[in-house]
Structure 1
Amino acid sequence: MTDARSTDVDGADPLQGDPRVEAYFGAAWPAVLGFHDLLVRQGELRGLVGPREFSRLWERHLLNSAAVVPFLPDTGRIIDLGSGAGLPGVVVAAMIPEAEVVLLEPMERRTDWLSEVVAELRLSNVVVRRGRAQDVHGDLIGDAVTVRAVASLDKLYRWAMPLLARGGTFVALKGSKAEAEVEDARHLGRKLGAGPATVLDAPTIEGVDVTRVVRVVREAVPGVR
């Protein structure tokens, strides 16, 4: 599998062929490269990636997704909430092969895509499940929940906290307004059993913008002592 197409209207991806990217992903590199190639070939056609994103797939999407990995457990179940194109869930699955990664996505066309990606990349630790978070509350429980570019933190707490076991970790990829969102959602998070939220910088490789991550541990399950 090759990654021949790396250009769009904005030009070539500056990280295309950069050996630091392969070194960063290590043993996960074949799967991550394969995922990149699938996004390049089919992402725009299937409404998953905008045409202007191809020149920044590595930095804005794949490395950005990988930035959550240091905050996740090495084993257990990780739920990727609203998985969409598979970001960050597919990258997480490739980098944490001993964990079960559930790609939870409500749209059928996207779950079809995710199933094809999982089969193509032979990611045996992945389960693709169609549904909203609210649909699986009380049915699906994980050791960690990841989420990227889905909704504001107050909504994410309502969706994610019921999916976490006590002591489980919620990790959200956020931007420049992370601290404000944390403050706005603080009281709701506490009501739902969330511990204090921490905004963390998550670097990947030199020269790439640092990703901002909100990390929360579920300290209590409401109604359970």
Structure 2
Amino acid sequence: MFPLERLPLAERYAELLATEGVVRGLIGPREAPRLWDRHLLNSAVLAEVLPTDSTVADLGTGAGLPGMVLAIARPDLRLTLVEPLLRRTTFLEEVVAELGLDNVEVVRGRAEELHGKRTFDVVTSRAVAPLDRLLGWSMPLVAPKGALVAMKGSSVAEEIETARPVLATYKCAEPEVFVLGEGVVERPTCALRVAWADPSSIGWPLTRGSQRKGRNRRRPRAH
């Protein structure tokens, strides 16, 4: 899961989460004893479905989950950790500096602020929002041949059905659901992958008609 030579980095990151992460309110005190099972290993198995040498944006990364874990487990990936809160980005930058992770960029801001400016091979997130809202934040950042790859819970099937109109508006392909880490970790990870139906004709920017409809709906912002 972690290459042997990268394991000390993962161990140090876990220590920082359990100490500075708790002190700064990034991780709950009750989570500290179960960081490996519920957070690090749970995030690390996501690396199984990420293409080699890809660029990855982790939206609402918080304390760096899953983005920082993926950067440690897969040095071939180039991670951009997107987070609006200063206390979190400060912690992330300190972790990057201490661990010497030259494949990580920390960006303070919201996903929408990168729309039209950046695209990535993979856009990931963990417990950020239901799929219908997540698509609006993520798909504008997905490269033509890239995909949204989000960590999801047991309600993923219901989320897909609720998001059908948004999936159609953005011209997305049929979502794929993967269960990762079975027989390896105590809590397998459910991952959802959404790509463009036709990379040569993506559904963003939206047409004017779709934009007007979107403005009539209240759109929460990514956290």
Distance 2:111 2:150 in 1: 15
- SS of the aligned residue for 1:57 comes to helix
Distance 1:160 1:78, change over 3 A: same
Mapped contact 2:173–2:197 kept (Cα < 8 A) = yes
Q: Deviations over 1:172-219 (max 9, x none)?
A: 111110111011112202211321111211116546021111111123
> Which residue of structure 2 lines up, in the alignment, with residue 5 of structure 1?
none
- SS of the aligned residue for 1:67 comes to helix
> Which residue of structure 1 lines up, in the alignment, with residue 45 of structure 2?
67
**CA deviation after TM superposition for structure 1 residue 223, in Å:** 6.2
| Number of corresponding residues | 201
Amino acid at match of 1:25: F
Q: Deviations over 1:9-36 (max 9, x none)?
A: xxxxxxxxxxxxxxx3124312211110
Distance 2:11 2:182 in 1: 16
> Which residue of structure 2 lines up, in the alignment, with residue 47 of structure 1?
25
> Which residue of structure 2 lines up, in the alignment, with residue 25 of structure 1?
2
Amino acid at match of 1:61: H
> Which residue of structure 2 lines up, in the alignment, with residue 222 of structure 1?
203
Distance 1:116 1:37 in 2: 13
1:92 equivalent in alignment to 2:92: no
Distance 1:69 1:218 in 2: 21
Instruction: Please tell me the root mean square deviation across aligned C-alpha atoms, in Å.
Output: 1.5
Mapped contact 2:140–2:204 kept (Cα < 8 A) = no
Distance 1:204 1:64 in 2: 11
Distance 1:223 1:215 in 2: 18
Instruction: Map 1:55-134 onto structure 2 (within 5 A).
Output: 55-134=33-112
> Which residue of structure 1 lines up, in the alignment, with residue 115 of structure 2?
137
Q: Where in structure 1 do 4 or more consecutive aligned residues deviate above 3 Å?
A: 204-207
Distance 1:223 1:211, change over 3 A: closer
Mapped contact 1:101–1:126 kept (Cα < 8 A) = yes
- SS of the aligned residue for 2:102 comes to coil
Distance 1:204 1:92, change over 3 A: farther
Mapped contact 2:42–2:185 kept (Cα < 8 A) = no
Distance 1:204 1:40 in 2: 26
Amino acid at match of 2:203: P
Distance 1:71 1:205 in 2: 17
Instruction: Map 1:164-183 onto structure 2 (within 5 A).
Output: 164-183=142-161
Identity between Structure 1 and Structure 2 (%) = 44
- SS of the aligned residue for 2:79 comes to strand
> Which residue of structure 2 lines up, in the alignment, with residue 186 of structure 1?
164
TM value normalised by structure 1: 0.85
Q: Deviations over 1:15-68 (max 9, x none)?
A: xxxxxxxxx312431221111011111111111111111121111100111121
